[in-house]
C-alpha cells in the first residue's frame, strides 16, 4: 500500500509538469536508444562477418603478394607479385588439397542495354567457384575449354543480375565490359552481403580471356602474368597447417628467397581470420556501447538536477506532510519513485526507439542489425540504476528537511 500511494503521488507530481518531465527523460531516452541501436548494429556486423567468412569454408587458405622488410634498414622492399607460374607450381606440388584457384581482379563499368554498373570483374579458372563455395543456380560454370579457347563468356552474381537485368532472365544476354561483349552463361546463387563487402556483386570471366581482352598491361609484370590471389582449399580442417607449410616451401623456392629473407607473400587462414575479425568486431561493439552509455550519465545528472529543483519548489508541501505525521521513509520513497518513474519511462521509450533505428537500418539493407535480449536488459537495468543513483541525494535531502523550517520557507 505504501508503494502504490507513493507511486500515485509521484505520478501526479510528474504530470503537473509534463514538459519538464519530458525534457528530463530525454537524456535517458537518447542514451538507451543509442546503446540498443549501436549494439544491434555491432552484433549484426559480427554476424555478417562470421557468415561471410564461414561461407568460404574453414579449410580455405588465401595467398596474396606482400612486401618484405629489409631487416637491416627496416625499410620496405619493392612490391612483389604472385604469378600464374606460382599457381602452376602449387597445383603440381601440393598434396591434401581439394582445389586450387588463381584469380585476377579489377574494377570495370559494365553495361547491359541502358543499365550500367561499376563492379569487380574477376578472371578465374573453373575451380574458383567450388573453392570459394559459390553455387551456380542457373546456367553453367566456366570450363577449361572457355579458358583455352578465350571464350567471351561470363557468370554473374545475384546483385549484378538484379542491377543489369531487373525484369528479365540474364542467361544468354550480352553485357559489355570495357566495351567488349560477353555472353552471360551462368547465374550465381546469392551468398549475401556483409554490409561492407557484397559477394553477390561480381562478374567472373575465364582467366585467359581476361588477360587477353580486359586486364591489359596491369596484369603483366617482368614479362609474367600476375594474379591478385591464389585460393587453396585443404582436404580437411586438420590438413590446413600442413598445406600452409607446403605453400610456404613452394613459393619461397619459386621466388628464390634466401634463408634469411622474409616471405614476400601472405597466407591467410580463414579460421584465424574469422577469430580475429570476430574478436575485433565484438570489442568495437562493446566500445561503442560504452560510449553511448555515457549519455545515460548525462541523463542521470539531468534527473538529479530537476529533482533538486522539485524538492526546492515543494519544500512547504514536504513540511506539511511531515507536520501531519509523514515519516522520513515516506518522503524518501516519494522522490525515489519519481526519479525511478522518470528513468524507467525513459528506458522503455529508448528501447523502443533503439529497436526502431535498428529496424530502419536493416530495412535500408545497410546491415542486418540484431537486437538482442541481453542488450535490452542491460540498457534497461542501467537506466534504472542511473535513476536510483542520481535520485538518492535529492530524496535524502527532501526526507531530512525539518518540518518547521520547511513550513516557514517561501
- Domain span holding position 394: 2-52+276-408
Q: Give the model's confidence band at 407: pLDDT under 50 very low, under 70 low, under 90 confident, else very high.
A: low
* Residue 180 CA from chain centroid, whole number: 36
Total domain count, the chain: 2
Q: Give the model's confidence band at 188: pLDDT under 50 very low, under 70 low, under 90 confident, else very high.
A: very high
3-class state of residue 309 by DSSP? helix
- C-beta separation of 357 from 367 below 8 A: no
- Residues 354-378 pLDDT 10s: 899 989 888 887 777 888 888 788 8
> Is 62 among the domain residues?
no
Contacts 24+ apart (CB under 8 A), 143-149: 146/206, 146/209, 147/206, 147/207, 147/208, 147/209, 148/208
Of 97, 23, 62, give the one whose Cα is nearest residue 303: 23
User: Is pLDDT above 80 for 258?
Assistant: yes
- Quick one: pLDDT at residue 71? 46
Cα separation, 375 vs 397, whole angstroms:
34
Of 131, 92, 96, 133, give the one whose Cα is nearest residue 239: 96
- Residues 239-252 pLDDT 10s: 888 888 999 999 99
pLDDT top residue among 322 and 69: 322
pLDDT top residue among 343 and 2: 343
Least confidently predicted of 32-36, 59-63, 401-405: 401-405
User: Is pLDDT above 50 for 68?
Assistant: no
Cα separation, 248 vs 63, whole angstroms:
10
- Quick one: pLDDT at residue 69? 46
Which of 228, 263, 298 is where one domain is finished?
A: 263
> Is 75 among the domain residues?
yes
User: How far, CA to CA in Å, does 32 sit from each of 189, 284, 384?
Assistant: 39, 18, 11
Residue 353 exposed, middle or buried by CB count within 10 Å (0-12, 13-18, 19+): middle
- Residues 97-129 pLDDT 10s: 889 999 999 999 999 988 999 999 999 999 999
Within this chain, do residues 84 and 215 fall inside the same structural domain, yes or no?
yes
Least confidently predicted of 26-35, 117-126, 396-405: 396-405
- Quick one: pLDDT at residue 66? 76
- Quick one: pLDDT at residue 46? 73
Within this chain, do residues 231 and 325 fall inside the same structural domain, yes or no?
no
- Quick one: pLDDT at residue 269? 80
Q: Give the model's confidence band at 72: pLDDT under 50 very low, under 70 low, under 90 confident, else very high.
A: very low
pLDDT top residue among 73 and 14: 14
> Is 61 among the domain residues?
no
Residue the block writes with cell 571464350: 151
Average pLDDT over residues 281-309: 73
Within this chain, do residues 136 and 256 fall inside the same structural domain, yes or no?
yes
Which of 232, 263, 294 is where one domain is finished?
A: 263
> pLDDT above 70 covers what percent of the chain?
76
- Residues 160-182 pLDDT 10s: 999 999 988 999 999 999 889 99
Within this chain, do residues 341 and 293 fall inside the same structural domain, yes or no?
yes
> Is 291 among the domain residues?
yes
Which of 263, 287, 314 is where one domain is finished?
A: 263
Within this chain, do residues 238 and 110 fall inside the same structural domain, yes or no?
yes
Within this chain, do residues 166 and 205 fall inside the same structural domain, yes or no?
yes
Least confidently predicted of 234-238, 286-290, 338-342: 286-290
Q: What is the mean pLDDT of the chain?
A: 80
Within this chain, do residues 47 and 173 fall inside the same structural domain, yes or no?
no
Amino acid at each position: 500500500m505504501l508503494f502504490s500511494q507513493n507511486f500515485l503521488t509521484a505520478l501526479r507530481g510528474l504530470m503537473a509538469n509534463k514538459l519538464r518531465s519530458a525534457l528530463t527523460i530525454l537524456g535517458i531516452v537518447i542514451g538507451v536508444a543509442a546503446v540498443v541501436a549501436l549494439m544491434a548494429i555491432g552484433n549484426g556486423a559480427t554476424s555478417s562477418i562470421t557468415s561471410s567468412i564461414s561461407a568460404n569454408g574453414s579449410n580455405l587458405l588465401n595467398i596474396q603478394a606482400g612486401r618484405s622488410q629489409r631487416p637491416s634498414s627496416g625499410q620496405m622492399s619493392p612490391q612483389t607479385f604472385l604469378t600464374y607460374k606460382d599457381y602452376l607450381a602449387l597445383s603440381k606440388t601440393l598434396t591434401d588439397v581439394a582445389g586450387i584457384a588463381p584469380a585476377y581482379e579489377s574494377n570495370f563499368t559494365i553495361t547491359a542495354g541502358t543499365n550500367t554498373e561499376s563492379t569487380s570483374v574477376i578472371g578465374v579458372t573453373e575451380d574458383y567457384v567450388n573453392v570459394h563455395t559459390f553455387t551456380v543456380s542457373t546456367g553453367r560454370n566456366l570450363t577449361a575449354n572457355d579458358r583455352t579457347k578465350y571464350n567471351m563468356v561470363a557468370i554473374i552474381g545475384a546483385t549484378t543480375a538484379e542491377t543489369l537485368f531487373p525484369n528479365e532472365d540474364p542467361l544468354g544476354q550480352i553485357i559489355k565490359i570495357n566495351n567488349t561483349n560477353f555472353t552471360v552463361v551462368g547465374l550465381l546463387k546469392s551468398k549475401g552481403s556483409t554490409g561492407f563487402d557484397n559477394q553477390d556483386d561480381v562478374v567472373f570471366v575465364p582467366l585467359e580471356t581476361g588477360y587477353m581482352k580486359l586486364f591489359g598491361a596491369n596484369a603483366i609484370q617482368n614479362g609474367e602474368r600476375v594474379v591478385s590471389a591464389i585460393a587453396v582449399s585443404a582436404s580437411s580442417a586438420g590438413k590446413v597447417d600442413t598445406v600452409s607449410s607446403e605453400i610456404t616451401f613452394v613459393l619461397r623456392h619459386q621466388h628464390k628467397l634466401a634463408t634469411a629473407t622474409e616471405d614476400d607473400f601472405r597466407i591467410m587462414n580463414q579460421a584465424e581470420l574469422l577469430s580475429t575479425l570476430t574478436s575485433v568486431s565484438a570489442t568495437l561493439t562493446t566500445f561503442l556501447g560504452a560510449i553511448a552509455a555515457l549519455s545515460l550519465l548525462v541523463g542521470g545528472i539531468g534527473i538529479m538536477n530537476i529533482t533538486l529543483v522539485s524538492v526546492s519548489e515543494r519544500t512547504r508541501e514536504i513540511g506539511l506532510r511531515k507536520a501531519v505525521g509523514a515519516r522520513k521513509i515516506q518522503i524518501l520513497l516519494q522522490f525515489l519513485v519519481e526519479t525511478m518513474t522518470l528513468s524507467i519511462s525513459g528506458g522503455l521509450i529508448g528501447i523502443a526507439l533503439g529497436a526502431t533505428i535498428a529496424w530502419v537500418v536493416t530495412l535500408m539493407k545497410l546491415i542486418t542489425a540484431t537486437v538482442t535480449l541481453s542488450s535490452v536488459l542491460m540498457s534497461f537495468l542501467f537506466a534504472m540504476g542511473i535513476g536510483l543513483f542520481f535520485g538518492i541525494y535529492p530524496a535524502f535531502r527532501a526526507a531530512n528537511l525539518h518540518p518547521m523550517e520547511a513550513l516557514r520557507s517561501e
